[in-house]
């Protein structure tokens, strides 16, 4: 068979049911074969969004998301979507078309060295130049994406490979990918530290999401009488209505979560890379704390925080090994009781019934009225941090965001991918007006493909987080952060694409709009006109410690965090 047909069959054998992309000249042989396939192809309006849709699909389905772009600008547009997945360890197979092998390096029309562009932002990277290796390459791409630490794999395919002959023998060749080695040689040391701990705390990261180790972590937390704090990427991995789950820690985290993180004597960190948004001033983080670091990627152990004990393996396996190894419970009852009380004290009333609308009110009502299996995605900026701090994840709720790269425009296309993966759940994107304008063309994709997501737009007329930093750290000298006038009219914009849209300017109308959007059979935009002067607080300034936290309206009195 020809390479184009082989490509389609290889995707089908990997149980690919949907892919996101835009065709181009070098991809036409592949698209011609795709006509006969049952694979659903969703035509996006921008290749970056194809990457984000595949990413959102992967995080919900737990299968590699597949996106495809043509050569040259198609591939360069895809780069941001791939980089976002790489930073958040999301499994993806990104396929790019390429000019024919005979003209590679000749500056042919729409030629770009996508292989080199993708090299630093992928888990693995292929360019197929020999048709004999094509089937093996495609099989390996899917295996690598979901072996060990998940991540995107890029396959660059010159157009003549699609037209080359592929034999049955080449198609049937079996391939294997080595699994990462576990290293639990320091398990006994970890157990001893945890047994002796008087103030233990568990910090969970995004690795816990992928390993689905939340129930086991809660069992371990109860054995240790230890509070659980989460990074931004781990939000939703453990139930936030549990009294010992303190929520998100770090720069915009809850005060009680930062208190537990900074006052524990033993920190068990699982599936996290200790980003700067969690540690603050790295040289002063954990200086009086003994750290047990668990990660599936051995290169993360000791990279940012020098852990006294390192355990290499997936979160589920290592946590179960710790549970089996614990012989007695630590003497942490006093610590537990203090944390329980502080958690109650840190539960503030953010049902703010004032006009103009406060963003906290929108998040409060989303927490209250969205179902227990809702999926929430976010854009990046103030909207993301309000969502992380105030939205409650429990039951089967999922929280999907761009953590590592902080990609504006991620949330809306990721919501579309998530809805395709789980069409029976309500999917809502918490957006900012800056982010949404980067990807608003995907309303066409949502309407055309019958993907009814809800967009909750927190519209303050600014690049809100940029404004906040200019206000706090640059003497309120605002530059290039305010949008002029009311451009665009988001309601008219969404309606022009065939979506349903409403504008909400009073807090009394917030709840009804959310309930209506959750029931909509069409893409539904809610333009919440919020108070432009409201900042995301509390906030620990970058490169500082929690002692320097800017609290704003926060009334925390639990001590130094």
How many beta carbons lie within 10 A of that of residue 300, not counting itself?
23
- Whole-angstrom Cα distance, residue 281 to residue 291? 17
Coil, helix or strand at residue 399: strand
Q: Can you list the positions of beta strands (E) in 483-531?
A: 500-504, 524-529
pLDDT > 60? residue 541 = yes
Q: Using alpha carbons, list the distances in angstroms from residue 75 to 112, 205, 445, 558.
A: 8, 31, 20, 51
CA pair distance 211, 502, nearest whole angstrom: 39
List Cβ neighbours of 338 (8 Å cut-off, separation of 6 or more): none
What integer pLDDT is reported at residue 560 of this predicted model?
Answer: 61
For residue 561, the model assigns a pLDDT of: 53
Mean pLDDT computed over 153-177: 97
Mean pLDDT of 111-123: 98
Residue 260's pLDDT band, with cuts at 50, 70 and 90, is very high
Q: Per-residue pLDDT tens for 376-385? A: 999 999 999 9
Pick one of 3.40.50.1220, 3.40.50.720, 3.10.129.10, 3.40.47.10 as the CATH number of 187-345. Answer: 3.40.50.1220
Residue 545: the pLDDT is 85
359-529 folds as Rossmann fold (3.40.50)
- 59-87 tens-digit pLDDT: 999 999 999 999 999 999 999 999 999 99
* Cβ atoms within 10 Å of 31's Cβ, excluding its own: 18
Percent of the chain with pLDDT over 90: 92
Is the Cβ–Cβ distance between 273 and 295 less than 8 Å?
yes
Q: Which of 424, 479, 478 shows the shortest CA–CA distance to 451?
A: 424
Strand partners, 500: 524
> What is the DSSP-derived secondary structure letter of residue 168?
H
- pLDDT at residue 146 in the model: 97
Residue pair 501/524 in contact by the 8 Å Cβ criterion = yes
Summarize the confidence of residues 157-186 as an average pLDDT: 95
Q: What is the DSSP string of 275-327?
A: -HHHHSSGGGTTTTSEEEEEESSGGGTTTSS--SEEEES-HHHHHHHHHHH--
Percentage above 70 pLDDT, the chain = 99
Mean pLDDT of the region 168-196:
95
Within this chain, domains 187-345 and 359-529 share the same CATH topology: yes
> In angstroms, rounded to a whole number, what is the distance separating the alpha carbons of residues 385 and 229?
16
Rounded to whole angstroms, how far apart are CA atoms 231 and 271? 10
Mean pLDDT of the chain: 96
Confidence of residue 348 (pLDDT cuts 50, 70, 90): confident
CATH for 3-172, among 3.40.640.10, 3.40.50.970, 3.40.50.12280, 3.90.470.20? Answer: 3.40.50.970
Mean pLDDT to the nearest integer, 335-345: 95
What average pLDDT score do residues 235-245 get? 97
pLDDT digits (tens, 9 = 90+) for 449-480: 999 999 999 999 999 999 999 999 999 999 99
Domain range annotation of the chain: 3-172, 187-345, 359-529
């Amino acid at each position: 068979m020809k390479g184009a047909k082989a490509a389609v069959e290889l995707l089908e054998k990997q149980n690919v049911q949907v892919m996101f992309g835009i065709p181009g000249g070098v991809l036409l042989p592949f698209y011609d074969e795709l006509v006969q396939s049952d694979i659903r192809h969703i035509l996006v309006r921008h290749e970056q969004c194809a990457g984000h849709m595949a990413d959102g699909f992967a995080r919900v389905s737990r299968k590699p998301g597949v996106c495809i772009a043509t050569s040259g600008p198609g591939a360069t547009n895809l780069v941001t979507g791939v980089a976002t997945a790489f930073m958040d360890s999301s499994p993806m197979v990104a396929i790019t078309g390429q000019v024919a092998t005979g003209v590679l390096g000749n500056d042919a029309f729409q030629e770009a060295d996508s292989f080199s562009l993708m090299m630093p932002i992928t888990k693995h990277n292929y360019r197929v130049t020999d048709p004999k290796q094509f089937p093996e390459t495609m099989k390996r791409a899917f295996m690598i994406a979901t072996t060990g630490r998940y991540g995107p794999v890029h396959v660059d395919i010159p157009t003549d490979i699609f037209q080359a002959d592929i034999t049955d023998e080449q198609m049937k060749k079996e391939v294997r990918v080595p699994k990462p080695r576990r290293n639990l040689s320091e398990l006994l040391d970890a157990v001893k530290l945890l047994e002796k701990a008087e103030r233990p705390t568990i910090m969970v990261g995004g690795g816990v999401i992928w390993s689905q180790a939340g129930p086991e972590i809660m069992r371990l937390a109860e054995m240790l009488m230890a509070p659980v704090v989460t990074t931004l990427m781990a939000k939703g991995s453990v139930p936030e209505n549990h009294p010992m789950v303190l929520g998100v820690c770090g720069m915009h985290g809850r005060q009680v979560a930062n208190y537990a993180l900074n006052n524990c004597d033993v920190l068990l960190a699982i599936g996290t890379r200790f980003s700067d948004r969690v540690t603050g001033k790295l040289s002063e983080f954990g200086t009086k704390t003994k750290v047990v670091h668990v990660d599936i990627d051995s290169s993360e152990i000791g990279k940012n925080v020098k852990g006294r004990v390192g355990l290499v393996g997936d979160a589920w396996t290592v946590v179960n090994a710790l549970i089996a190894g614990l012989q007695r419970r630590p003497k942490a009852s006093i610590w537990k009781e203090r944390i329980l009380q502080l958690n109650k004290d840190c539960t503030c009333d953010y049902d703010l019934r004032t006009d103009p609308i406060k963003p906290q009110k929108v998040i409060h009502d989303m927490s209250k009225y969205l179902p227990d299996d809702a999926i929430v995605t976010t854009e990046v900026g103030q909207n993301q941090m309000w969502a992380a701090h105030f939205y409650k994840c429990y039951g089967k709720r999922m929280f999907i965001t761009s953590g590592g790269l902080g990609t504006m425009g991620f949330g809306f296309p990721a919501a579309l991918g998530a809805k395709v993966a789980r069409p029976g759940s309500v999917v809502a994107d918490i957006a900012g007006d800056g982010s949404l304008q980067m990807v608003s063309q995907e309303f066409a994709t949502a309407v055309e493909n019958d993907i009814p997501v809800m967009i909750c737009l927190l519209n303050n007329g600014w690049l809100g987080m940029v404004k906040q930093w200019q206000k706090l750290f640059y003497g309120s000298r605002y530059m290039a952060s305010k949008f002029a006038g009311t451009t665009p009219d988001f309601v008219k914009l969404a309606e022009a694409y065939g979506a349903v849209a409403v504008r909400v300017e009073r807090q009394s109308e917030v709840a009804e709009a959310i309930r209506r959007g959750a029931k909509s059979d069409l893409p539904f935009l809610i333009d919440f006109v919020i108070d432009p002067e409201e900042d995301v607080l509390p906030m620990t300034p970058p490169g500082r410690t929690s002692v320097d936290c800017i609290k704003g309206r926060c009334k925390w009195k639990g001590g130094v965090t």
